[in-house]
Chain A
Amino acid sequence: MNADGKARTLIAVLTGVVMAMLWLSPAAAQGFAGLGTTAEGFAIPSRDRRLQFPEDHGAHPEYRIEWWYLTATLTGQDGQDYGVQWTLFRSALAPYEDDGWNSPQVWMGHAGLTTATRHFSAERFGRGGVGQAGVTTDPFKAWIDEWHMTSQSHPEEDALDRLDVHAQGEDFAFSLEFTAQGPLVFQGDEGYSVKSPTGQASHYYSQPFYTVSGVLSLPDGPVTVSGQGWLDREWSSQPLADDQAGWDWVSLSFEDGHRMMGFQLRGTEIFTAGTWITPEGDATPLADGAVQFKPLQHTSIKGRDVPTHWQIDWPDGALSITTEPLNPHAWMDLSINYWEGPLRFSGTHSGRGYLEMTGY
């Protein structure tokens, strides 16, 4: 091989590896995005830990991974449905923060925008320590490059009650205001969310009561939108068990004001969990097996067979719904790829929601 060819191989290796090395699972690593790898030296989530704010809105560098995850189901002035995702991931190479280039904290941003016919996505990478990306709690701001999620809350409110959110890619952008209409909701046992029968867990809370308004910038021009939003905050050091290859996760907003979160983790056995949330914010955890996920229809995306239509049953709650995605091709075609997009559901209940599927 000549030198030029070598350089090109290097590029391939680089783009394939460096960008995704922290998140993507090579064949040898375990679980989706390496989330099943062991957590030596990192803090382990504890059932006894009680969440504290505003501190826990900020980063937890002693844990291996963490995210600030916003989704919104929107309707435009044009009457069309839209979906938006804004996520900041943190991944630690070592369980501490340090100044400047010595920081072992690596940040990744994902943005998605879904229409009925198109799906846009973009990603960013950055290093902690120098100011390119990070999260501050006072005032609250999470950012990577020019993408940001900035608190506009009044002093007496929770920092996450009002958020300005912005992200953009090569051919899309969005600027949205999120306003909370209810309290924060703790998932699992007071925010301790178990992920497998062997006890892998994370700290996990949500703000599922946002109303959203703002502007999407699309190739055909700007669209004014409004709708509902959902924020997930989660951190852990090993949220998946060795054998778990991926998950299917939904957040649902019912027409009567209830909310529901549910997921199944696909390992040698299926592990499920969920939370039933009243309009006032009272949360009921749903134990393993309480919620059942059944794929109804698959979509072929880039050679993968992805279940994009689901039947979700919660017999104890007399709930049985089928979901239909706004766009079955809502594939986040990034260094780490997965499916993430808005849906509508009907059956015993109806409403809108967001679906995330990884490991396909």
Chain B
Amino acid sequence: MTRSALSALLSHWLRNPVQLVMLLAGLALATALWSGVQALNAEARAAYATAEGLLSDGGTSQLEHPRGQIDEAHFVQFRRAGWQVSPVLEGRVEIGQARVTVLGIEPLTAPAGAGPALAATDLQAFFNGLGYAHPQTLREIGTSDLRLQASEAIPMGTILLDIGTAQSVLERPGQITRLTVGNVQPQDRAALQALAPDMRLLPPGEAPELSGLTDSFHLNLTAFGLLAFAVGLFIVHSAVGLAFEQRRVMFRTLRALGVPLRHLTACLAAELLVFAVLAGSAGLVLGYVLASLLLPDVALTLRGLYGAPVPGSLQFNPLWAASGLGMTLAGTALAGGQALWRLWHLPLLAPAQPRAWAIASDRGMRVQAVAAVLLALLALGLGQFGSGLMMGFALLAATLLAAALAVPLFLSAILRHATTFARAPVAQWFWADSRQNLPRLSLALMALMLALSANIGVGTMVASFRATFIDWLDLRLVAEVNVIPRSQAEAQDLQVFLARHAQAALPMQRIDAQLAGQQAQIYAMMDHATFRDNWPLISPVDDVWDRLAAGDGILVNEQLYRRAGLQSGVSFLDLPEIGAQQVLGAYPDYGNPLAQAVVTLDQFVAAYPQTPIRQFAVRTETPQELIAVLQDEFGLPSSQITDQAQAKSLSMAIFERTFVITRALNILTLMVAAIALFAALVTLSGMRLAQLAPLWALGLTVRQLAGLELLRALVLGGLTLLLALPVGLALAQILLSVINVQAFGWRLPMQVFPADWARLAAWAMLAVLIAAALPAVRLWRRGAAQLLRVFAHER
């Protein structure tokens, strides 16, 4: 009997293949977006784990100096005092065509877990300068003076060298960045206080880690994945719900024939399970493809933004597949649970009257209204009193959910108004009928609203950021030519030469340090009009530039300013070797994960002598001539000289990459929403014949009826779009002034781009039109015969 019941139930899908496709497509898409994002996150995290295993030496303690560098003599001093330590030198440098992290280690003392996969015969070669890098890094570097060997075990963008080689490549002879402290130490060793009182012992895990820096990026991705998944579940819910409604009669018949309720429910549950597994598997394949396509951009973003090594290729992980499928099953259970519950409580001979259903949903609407108001209040409260990144996302979620719940209420109110204004009978019917069918479409419309407002919000955020970033780049990259000396001797010569041949040559010097407990860099700034005229400052003190030039205080970047809760003219910051300095103001520093402080050149040179000059920002009226002279006089290759335009286009390229994935996910979410609407309209159209037939009998043509169906979809879509606009702008405001500040440390002014909205509106209406077209065309094609049959039907 179960078999006959099952075949009867399944025959529904044979008769409604479009509905089946919708259900499966919805599930598959939801799974694909969610699992794709998860795959990206997992791949990036695995890469960090490798990098940290290598860079921070697998959970060992570290000895560091607040200045960020240590004389290598300390290594021997500590070893001979009984400390099992190993030196590490780390720095960024241009090699060949790429900018890479050079990691210098001492393989004989390195704790297990750090160091290269050296074959026995390679140790001498390693001592003599052989380096190891990931094959992809090797490709990016192209040709260079270094002897490099490929090794998959090295993180992307990193070159592993012997400590001695690293010192010469980084031009830091006799210097190391830190000492890693082995986990096994002998019985007696000298106290740290007695050895080097100014050094600090950082316990494992407190050393700066990539995963900390990039957490916010991954949280962003996860939030997007979850949103897409939720939108996908709307499709599943509406498809399952409608399939249930349509099979109501069949259930009744089956029950009357003696199929036990338990069997029937089990059959439906099994049906859902099979669909979930089938669609989930397809979704996993799709998600994998999606992740593979997006990973190169994500990798570039992470490397550009954080210097985080992420490979450009994806590896398959069974755990990922299992968790993705689990998510699909859970989601299906959630979306289909209501249908199963209703079946369980279905009276044997319940009537199936749409109007009664609609009246019943009025009560539901009231509950929904209360929920929407409560969520809106929660969002307000969070916005007022909350703090932290998780709070930011909670605020985001509450706002979106409140708005989504408000969609049917809002539409219902508008439609009621429209009904009262309508005079012609057809118009009155149109509005009343739209309102009656609203409950069935409301989930799809809520999904559409979510997707549209997310699109507007994220789009506005990206565009605002872009506009701010371009303005800022113009001000920041004011130097006409940038010159990178190849050695310190050349730097000296260049300084002398440029003093005569250019209007100004502003040397760029910096050291690594810890500021307010954060990984930071201290820069030297020469007092010059270039900075006075061009650097935009956030809440500076009066006469900020004069006071800075007088050594009266320092400037910090916005990230440090906000994270450490500093206040201009009030807060002091402790700088190594320099001491407490007043904060005079903050400057925007987009795209930089590190904290930064600026001191005068004199202060810098006095505190940190022997710091190499990394670059000259050169002011000149004749940049091309100067470049030519520099190339002639110093034989500088073009890689050492960049002009303004080059620098700008490079920065913009990194910026554009950063948001490729955001844009891609945005578009995909909108697609999912369009499919949700399509699914709802297609299934609804099948049920509406009974409502349309009387109108046809009253004299409306089939063509008119189809046109009205189309018009209604457009009206509802358009109204949803109208509602999505303010919600999207609120979302953008939250992203710009809450999420960005928490995640990256900078606040951006919001700018609006109505042209983008118009484009989105056009696309959204097109999606609605396409979604509504098929049911309308079907109605038209089936024509009068079908409508006529309604009157013969038992209903």
Contact = CB atoms under 8 A, between A and B. Distances in A.
Interface of A: 2-4, 6-7, 9-11, 13-15, 17-19, 21-22, 26, 29, 93-94, 100-102, 104, 106, 122, 125-127, 130-132, 143, 145-146, 168-173, 217
Contacts, number: 126
Q: Which residue, of A9, A10, A29, A172, has the highest number of chain B Cβ atoms within 10 A?
A: A10
Contacts of A173: 186-188
A207 B114 CA distance: 40
Given A11-B58, A17-B118, A131-B76, A3 B107 contact: no
Contacts of B315: 2-3
Given A17-B118, A127-B108, A172 B123 contact: no
Given A6-B153, A93-B123, A145-B80, A14 B112 contact: yes
Nearest to A23: B120
Contacts of A132: 75-76, 79-80, 109
B112 A168 contact: no
21 contacts: A2-B315, A4-B53, A10-B53, A10-B116, A14-B110, A14-B116, A18-B116, A18-B123, A21-B120, A21-B123, A94-B124, A101-B165, A106-B123, A125-B108, A126-B108, A130-B76, A132-B79, A132-B80, A145-B79, A146-B82, A173-B187
B118 to A, nearest CB: 5
B441 to A, nearest CB: 45
A18 B107 contact: yes
Contact of B79 (A4, A146, A169): A146
B117 A10 contact: yes
B186 A146 contact: yes
Contact of A26 (B114, B116, B120, B123): B120
B90 interface: no
A7 B153 contact: yes
A319 to B, nearest CB: 41
B220 to A, nearest CB: 22
A172 B109 contact: no
Given A15-B112, A94-B124, A170-B184, A126 B117 contact: no
B727 interface: no
Interface stretch (B43-51, B244-252, B373-381, B524-532): B43-51
A334 to B, nearest CB: 13
Contacts of A26: 120
Q: Which residue, of B117, B153, B186, B189, has the highest number of chain A Cβ atoms within 10 A?
A: B186
B117 A130 contact: no
Contacts of A4: 46, 49-50, 53
Contacts of B64: none
B115 interface: yes
A131 B87 CA distance: 14
Contacts of A127: 106, 108-109
B321 to A, nearest CB: 13
A3 B123 contact: no
Nearest to B124: A93
A130 B77 CA distance: 11
Interface in B161-198: 162-165, 167, 184-189
A146 B153 CA distance: 33
Given A101-B167, A130-B72, A170-B187, A11 B112 contact: yes
A26 B120 CA distance: 9
A16 to B, nearest CB: 10
B516 interface: no
A101 B72 CA distance: 11
A26 B118 CA distance: 14
Given A2-B315, A132-B76, A132-B80, A13 B127 contact: no
Contacts of B165: 101
A168 B187 contact: yes
A169 B186 contact: yes
B187 to A, nearest CB: 5
Interface of B: prevailing SS: loop
B127 A104 contact: yes
Interface in B410-454: none
Given A3-B49, A10-B153, A21 B81 contact: no
Given A4-B50, A132-B109, 19 more contacts: A2-B315, A3-B315, A4-B46, A7-B49, A10-B117, A11-B113, A14-B112, A14-B118, A17-B118, A29-B120, A93-B124, A93-B127, A101-B167, A104-B124, A130-B76, A168-B186, A169-B186, A170-B185, A171-B187
Contacts of B317: 2
Contacts of A122: 186
A15 to B, nearest CB: 4
B50 A3 contact: yes
B113 A14 contact: yes
A44 to B, nearest CB: 20
Nearest to A92: B124
A18 B186 contact: no
B682 interface: no
B653 interface: no
A127 B112 CA distance: 17
Given A21-B123, A22-B123, A104-B124, A126 B109 contact: yes
Contacts of B152: 6
B238 to A, nearest CB: 38
Contacts of B162: 101
A246 to B, nearest CB: 19
A100 B165 CA distance: 11
B479 interface: no
B119 interface: yes
Contacts of B58: 11
A146 B115 contact: no
A-B pairs with the 3 shortest C-beta distances?
A101-B164, A21-B120, A3-B46
A87 B317 CA distance: 48
B741 to A, nearest CB: 32
A11 B53 CA distance: 9
Contacts of B54: 7
A19 B164 contact: no
A170 B186 contact: yes
Contact of A17 (B53, B114, B120, B167): B120
Interface string B30-58: 00000000000000001101100110001
Contacts of A13: 117
Contacts of B184: 170
Q: Which residue, of B47, B124, B163, has the highest number of chain A Cβ atoms within 10 A?
A: B124
Interface string B82-122: 10100000000000000000000011111011111111100
Contacts of B119: 17, 21
Interface in B371-409: none
A172 B187 CA distance: 7
Q: Which residue, of A3, A10, A22, A102, has the highest number of chain B Cβ atoms within 10 A?
A: A3
B285 to A, nearest CB: 20
B149 to A, nearest CB: 14
Contacts of A125: 108-109
A333 to B, nearest CB: 14
Interface string B122-150: 01100100000000000000000000000
Nearest to A10: B153
B382 to A, nearest CB: 36
A6 B49 CA distance: 11
Interface string B249-280: 00000000000000000000000000000000
Contacts of A169: 186-187
A131 B174 CA distance: 13
Contact of B118 (A7, A21, A143): A21
Nearest to B116: A14
A162 B162 CA distance: 39
Q: Which residue, of B76, B84, B108, B315, has the highest number of chain A Cβ atoms within 10 A?
A: B108
Contacts of B153: 6-7, 9-10
Interface string B52-79: 0110001000000000000010011001
Nearest to A217: B187
A13 B132 CA distance: 15
A185 B564 CA distance: 70
Given A18-B115, A125-B108, A2 B79 contact: no
